[in-house]
């Protein structure tokens, strides 16, 4: 794959490369520029192929009356993802028509022409595409006579950390989705919607696809095979690897004793942070740059595939930033004011100071300038988060700075509106932006439907030529939030899809004969979610959700939703549909029990008051966990913990915190 300097394809280049199915007219693809000579090379082959395929314009019969003469061929040295793709294709044929199509090594293929070549087989390489000249993660669906070629960029970037591109898997899933009408509405077999057909006929194939965004990702549980398979089937991933994580988490442990001057001056005159992991730096100390570079170079030597090295501050976005004179001189007049805490998160001493974005952008630019000289083509990453989320007012990010924008929430309308405003501000300065929301954490796994807003915002940001999206959250609450995950994943693959079609697709494919009732359910759930969002309360995971949630999830609401779901269940005859509705019902049982915990804590002001409710919740969690049920991710403790913590504060506490925030509750 070509790995040159980042640039943009013009629509002409996309057309010349034959990158079809891209929304060329609406935005340019922000990927790496490719040299002209490879372009000419590609045009030659693409033209060759187009004329070839057109000459053989006859449909292919893959299965005829539940019989097939096809075999699936894989190359001898196929990477794991290619073998998985081949097996998944065979699995689907079996489900669709009962036909067993064997998966065999391409060297053992009998002399037949009914072959589906998966991955970069020799047969494919000998007459198909110069894949190496196409953008990373590109994949191809082609046919020639009865032969089918499904292959793509399957580069294994890092075997140890399972960093890989899975182009061939994308080609297989595109075939299944587009021509065999398969859908994967949630992870695991329960989410599969695979229509039966005794005869499968597809048109001749001649398609080249490149992911619309270089980064198009939801953080899934990579240790869970179902989740990994779902991500591949939904064609999510990163064509380019950018890291924007908290960059200084081990600094205090390493240098706190020997070089205290590297760390932020606190209000009490010391340079001791509230927590080592949340320690900030004194950015006017240039030794910071030296240390950062020495580890950045090591990292880039170790992981040549990585495009960015992060200089993002630690996860303490309102606490303990440096108060020394030189650092404060970096804060410009006119930056919005934020509230900062010293000596204790939320309970410490409050202090007003400008947003810290400008001082960080001065620092990040300092690093980017040198990095560009030493490692042209690599980026310094800055995560725009908490009090560093507003766009800088006096400095512009250099061209090799990539900004991870940690905005957007749908449990607070004010947060969403401000996110749009801040995003637009950043976008006026740079297009090298990756949207990185925490929204999938929000709501503590309670039932919510904000799928329409997710789709709207993917479309809104996509329209502005950014580098992509990566959603934190490791979401596995398929009963309470499955509709959000599904529609988001589909939009990341193709942001031109229409929300209404996706919504109908989800409801009809998921719930069949009960779809009308479930459409009603999700519409009501959307109205409910919007009422929470416009309540003006603080609703984030860390802040007032635990306090306010008992008001939203009262018995009337819970009973109303359960009634709709029980009505839907009566219409359902298919066992799978009943099981899926049960996931939603269970998410309300979880909501009821967590609500009871928070209500008891809120009433008494301490956690001990909720021991009985906690026990009821934990019993239920254990029962769900041991059954392997996917309604709510019961292993994830952070939500329960944060709800309990926040419910214990006095009335009005969180409202005040939110009113002081530059971006309410986006954390
Ligand atoms: Zn300082």
The rounded Å distance from CA 268 to ligand 1 centre is: 14
Q: Which of the four pLDDT bands, split at 50, 70 and 90, describes residue 537?
A: confident
The rounded Å distance from CA 255 to ligand 1 centre is: 16
Task: Encode pLDDT of 67-99 as tens digits.
Answer: 999 999 999 989 999 999 999 999 999 999 999
Which tokens belong to 117? 């070549």
Phi, psi of 73 (to 5 degrees): -105, 140
Strands (E) located in 436-543: 468-471
Q: Mind spelling out the 3-state secondary structure of 417-430? A: HHHHHHHHHHHHHC
pLDDT of 53 over the 70 cut: no
The rounded Å distance from CA 406 to ligand 1 centre is: 25
Cα angle for residues 467, 490, 632 (degrees, 5° grid): 110
Are the CB atoms for 97 and 198 separated by under 8 Å? yes
The rounded Å distance from CA 519 to ligand 1 centre is: 55
The rounded Å distance from CA 437 to ligand 1 centre is: 29
The rounded Å distance from CA 279 to ligand 1 centre is: 12
Q: Which of the four pLDDT bands, split at 50, 70 and 90, describes residue 632?
A: very high
Task: Encode pLDDT of 306-343 as tens digits.
Answer: 999 999 999 999 999 999 999 999 999 999 999 999 99
Mean pLDDT of all residues belonging to the chain: 88
Helices 167-178 + 225-233 axis angle, to 10: 70
**C-alpha 221: how far from chain center:** 12
The rounded Å distance from CA 247 to ligand 1 centre is: 17
Q: Give the SS3 label for residue 407.
A: coil
The rounded Å distance from CA 429 to ligand 1 centre is: 26
The rounded Å distance from CA 624 to ligand 1 centre is: 50
Higher pLDDT, 14 or 457: 457
Report the range of poorest mean pLDDT among 36-40, 75-79, 479-483.
36-40
pLDDT of 641 over the 90 cut: no
The rounded Å distance from CA 376 to ligand 1 centre is: 29
Rg (CA), the chain: 26
Cα angle for residues 26, 29, 32 (degrees, 5° grid): 165
- What residues contact 641, with CB distance under 8 A and at least 6 apart? none
Residue 74, Cβ neighbours under 10 Å: how many?
A: 22
Which tokens belong to 662? 């530059």
The rounded Å distance from CA 258 to ligand 1 centre is: 17
pLDDT of 225 over the 60 cut: yes
pLDDT of 112 over the 70 cut: yes
The rounded Å distance from CA 343 to ligand 1 centre is: 17
d(CA 332, CA 178): 53
The rounded Å distance from CA 327 to ligand 1 centre is: 4
Q: Which pLDDT score, from 0 to 100, does residue 287 have?
A: 98
Which tokens belong to 300? 């880039």
The rounded Å distance from CA 282 to ligand 1 centre is: 4
The rounded Å distance from CA 324 to ligand 1 centre is: 4
Nearest Cα residue to 133 out of 28, 36, 49: 36
Are the CB atoms for 181 and 146 separated by under 8 Å? no
Nearest Cα residue to 211 out of 423, 469, 13: 469
Average pLDDT (37-61) is: 49
d(CA 262, CA 183): 53
The rounded Å distance from CA 401 to ligand 1 centre is: 22
The rounded Å distance from CA 344 to ligand 1 centre is: 19
The rounded Å distance from CA 367 to ligand 1 centre is: 17
Are the CB atoms for 117 and 124 separated by under 8 Å? yes
Can you tell me which residue has the tokens 């300065």? 429
Q: Give the SS3 label for residue 542.
A: coil
Q: Which pLDDT score, from 0 to 100, does residue 128 have?
A: 60
The rounded Å distance from CA 285 to ligand 1 centre is: 7
Task: Encode pLDDT of 186-224 as tens digits.
Answer: 999 999 999 999 999 999 999 999 999 999 999 988 889
The rounded Å distance from CA 425 to ligand 1 centre is: 27
CA end-to-end span of the chain, whole Å? 36
Question: What is the secondary structure of 475-489 as a DSSP string?
Answer: ---HHHHHHHHHHHH
Q: Give the SS3 label for residue 275.
A: coil
Q: Which pLDDT score, from 0 to 100, does residue 643 have?
A: 84
Q: Which pLDDT score, from 0 to 100, does residue 514 have?
A: 98
Higher pLDDT, 425 or 544: 425
The rounded Å distance from CA 323 to ligand 1 centre is: 6
Which tokens belong to 401? 């700075």
Are the CB atoms for 283 and 330 separated by under 8 Å? yes
d(CA 235, CA 466): 19
Can you tell me which residue has the tokens 């009634």? 563
Q: Which pLDDT score, from 0 to 100, does residue 54 have?
A: 46
The rounded Å distance from CA 68 to ligand 1 centre is: 71
Q: Which pLDDT score, from 0 to 100, does residue 17 have?
A: 34
The rounded Å distance from CA 532 to ligand 1 centre is: 40
The rounded Å distance from CA 266 to ligand 1 centre is: 9
The rounded Å distance from CA 271 to ligand 1 centre is: 10
Place domain 11-238 in its CATH homologous superfamily. Answer: Chitobiase/beta-hexosaminidase domain 2-like (3.30.379.10)
The rounded Å distance from CA 328 to ligand 1 centre is: 7
Are the CB atoms for 387 and 662 separated by under 8 Å? yes
Task: Encode pLDDT of 403-454 as tens digits.
Answer: 999 999 899 898 899 999 999 999 999 999 999 999 998 888 999 999 999 9
In the chain, how many H helices and how many E strands?
21, 21
**Widest CA span in the chain:** 81
Q: Which pLDDT score, from 0 to 100, does residue 40 have?
A: 29
The rounded Å distance from CA 356 to ligand 1 centre is: 12
Q: Sketch the domain layout of the chain as residue ranges.
A: 11-238, 511-660
Nearest Cα residue to 95 out of 7, 188, 192, 4: 192
Count of alpha carbons within 13 Å of 183, Cβ hemisphere only? 17
d(CA 135, CA 129): 13
Q: Which pLDDT score, from 0 to 100, does residue 56 have?
A: 57
d(CA 514, CA 572): 5
Q: Which pLDDT score, from 0 to 100, does residue 656 have?
A: 81
Question: What is the secondary structure of 235-249 as a DSSP string?
Answer: T-EESSB---SBS-T
């Amino acid at each position: 794959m070509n790995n040159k300097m980042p640039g943009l394809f013009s629509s002409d280049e996309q057309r010349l490369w034959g990158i079809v199915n891209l929304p060329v007219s609406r935005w340019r693809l922000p990927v790496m520029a490719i040299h002209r000579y490879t372009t000419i090379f590609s045009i030659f082959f693409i033209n060759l192929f187009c004329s070839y395929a057109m000459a053989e314009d006859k449909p292919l019969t893959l299965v005829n009356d539940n019989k097939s003469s096809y075999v699936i061929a894989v190359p001898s040295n196929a990477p794991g993802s290619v073998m998985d793709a081949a097996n998944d294709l065979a699995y689907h044929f079996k489900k669709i028509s009962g036909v067993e199509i064997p998966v065999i090594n391409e060297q053992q293929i009998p002399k037949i022409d009914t072959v589906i070549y998966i991955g970069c087989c020799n047969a494919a390489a000998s007459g198909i595409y110069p894949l190496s000249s196409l953008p990373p993660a590109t994949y191809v669906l082609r046919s020639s006579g009865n032969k089918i070629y499904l292959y793509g960029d399957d580069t294994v970037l890092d075997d140890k950390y399972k960093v890989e591109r899975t182009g061939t898997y994308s080609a297989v899933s595109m075939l299944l989705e587009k021509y065999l009408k398969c859908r994967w509405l949630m992870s695991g077999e329960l989410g599969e919607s695979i229509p039966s057909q005794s005869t499968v006929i597809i048109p001749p194939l001649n398609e080249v696809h490149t992911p619309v965004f270089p980064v198009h990702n939801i953080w899934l549980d990579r240790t869970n095979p179902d989740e990994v398979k779902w991500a591949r089937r939904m064609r999510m991933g990163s064509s380019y690897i950018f890291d924007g994580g908290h960059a200084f988490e081990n600094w205090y442990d390493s240098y706190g004793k020997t070089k205290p001057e590297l760390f932020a001056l606190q209000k009490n005159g010391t340079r001791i942070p509230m927590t080592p992991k949340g320690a900030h730096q004194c950015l006017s100390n240039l030794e910071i740059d030296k240390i950062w570079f020495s580890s950045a170079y090591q990292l880039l030597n170790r992981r040549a595939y990585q495009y960015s090295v992060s200089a993002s501050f630690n996860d303490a976005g309102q606490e303990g930033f440096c108060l020394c004179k030189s650092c404060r001189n970096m804060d410009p007049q006119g930056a919005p004011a934020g509230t900062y805490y010293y000596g204790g998160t939320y309970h410490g001493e409050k202090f007003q100071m400008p947003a810290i974005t400008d001082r960080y952008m001065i620092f990040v630019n300092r690093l980017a300038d040198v990095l560009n000289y030493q490692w042209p083509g690599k980026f310094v990453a800055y995560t725009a988060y908490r009090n560093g989320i507003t766009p800088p007012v006096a400095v512009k990010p250099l061209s090799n700075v990539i900004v991870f924008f940690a905005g957007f929430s749908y449990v607070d309308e004010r947060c969403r509106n401000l996110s749009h405003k801040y995003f637009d501000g950043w976008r006026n300065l740079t297009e090298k932006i990756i949207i990185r929301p925490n929204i999938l954490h929000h709501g503590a796994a309670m039932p919510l439907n904000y799928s329409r807003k997710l789709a709207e915002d993917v479309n809104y940001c996509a329209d502005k030529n950014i580098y992509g999206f990566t959603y934190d959250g490791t979401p596995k609450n398929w009963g309470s939030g499955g509709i959000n995950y599904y529609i988001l994943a589909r939009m990341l693959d193709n942001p031109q899809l229409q929300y209404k079609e996706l919504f109908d697709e989800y409801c009809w494919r998921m719930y069949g004969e009960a779809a009308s009732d479930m459409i009603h359910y999700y519409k009501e759930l959307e109205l409910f979610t919007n009422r929470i969002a416009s309540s003006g309360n603080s609703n984030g995971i860390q802040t007032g959700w635990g306090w306010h949630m008992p008001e939203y999830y009262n018995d009337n609401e819970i009973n109303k939703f359960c009634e709709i779901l029980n009505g839907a269940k009566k219409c359902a005859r298919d066992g799978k549909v009943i099981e899926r509705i049960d996931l939603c019902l269970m998410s309300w049982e979880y909501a009821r029990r967590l609500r009871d915990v928070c209500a008891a804590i809120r009433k008494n002001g301490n956690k001990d008051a909720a021991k009985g409710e906690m026990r009821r919740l934990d019993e239920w969690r254990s029962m769900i966990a041991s059954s392997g049920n996917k309604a709510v991710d019961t292993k994830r403790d952070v939500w329960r913990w944060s709800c309990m913590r926040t419910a214990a504060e006095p009335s009005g506490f969180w409202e005040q915190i939110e009113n002081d925030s530059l971006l309410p509750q986006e954390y």
